Structure 1
Amino acid sequence: SKMDLANALRSAYELFGCEVTFGGSYPGWTPNVKSEILDVLVSIYEKQNNEKPKVVACHAGLECGILGTNYPDMDMISFGPTIHGAHSPDERASIKSSQKFYKFVLEILENIPMKN
């Protein structure tokens, strides 16, 4: 669907006589819903917050797409604090969620299982 949109935009600009080129494409990433690391993080989150986390797929997996292309067997997830206005001059992070995120990361680092 990304290329369909890109080609639709190209067509519109070419109607105005513009030359269109594409660049800066990044690979996609399909999250592994059976991820071992996801299970660990869900468990820690539930322990800290007495509720289940909202596990969703969103656009925030850029780094996972790049890493997954080079390391296809790597178990990974993408997570972080709540961001508002991403990729704009108004981008900002929620302080409350950043504090919660920091506490979460510290416990992950203390309890992450070793892999052989």
Structure 2
Amino acid sequence: MTTKLSGHYPGWQPNANSAVLEIAKAKYSELFNHEPRVVACHAGLECGLLGERYPGLDMISFGPNIRGAHSPDERVEIKSVQKFWKFLLEILKEIPKA
């Protein structure tokens, strides 16, 4: 067997002091009546790509519940898509204009 590596997804270091994160945490609590669970995990690869091109960009990664990602068994929980769409719209209302 031989392998070939291709493509590049740079990592990114989440910012625990992010203004966007604070807005998101407040909005989540307001919308869903409980504190969000904030974790760093193997996800948000797009943040690495964006951060590489826009150093210092304040960003977070979040999304719906996905099971079996990147496999033929990948599934998304529809109710969580609706929840996170509403969440995104509320976050965007609070982001300061530059």
Query: Quick check: TM above 0.5?
Result: yes
2:82 to 91, 99, 103: 99
Tell me how far 1:109 sits from its aligned partner: 2.3
Shift of 1:21: 3.5
Q: Which has the higher helix share?
A: 1
The reply to whether residue 47 of structure 1 matches residue 20 of structure 2 is no
Gaps of 5+ in 1: 1-17
**2: CA distance, partners of 1:22 / 1:86:** 20
DSSP-derived class of the 1:69 partner: helix
* Aligned partner letter, 1:64: C
What value does the CA root-mean-square deviation take over the aligned residues?
1.4
Secondary structure (helix, strand or coil) at the match of 1:106 reads: helix
Q: Which has the larger radius of gyration?
A: 1
Alignment counterpart, residue 46 of structure 2, candidates 63, 80, 97:
63
Q: Which residue of 1 aligns with 2:10?
A: 27
Instruction: Choose between structure 1 and 2 for higher RCO, CA contacts under 8 A separated by at least 6 residues.
Output: 2
Q: Number of aligned residue pairs: give it.
A: 98
TM-score of the pair, normalised by structure 2: 0.90
Runs of 4+ in 1 over 3 A off after TM superposition: 18-21
Instruction: Give % identity.
Output: 58
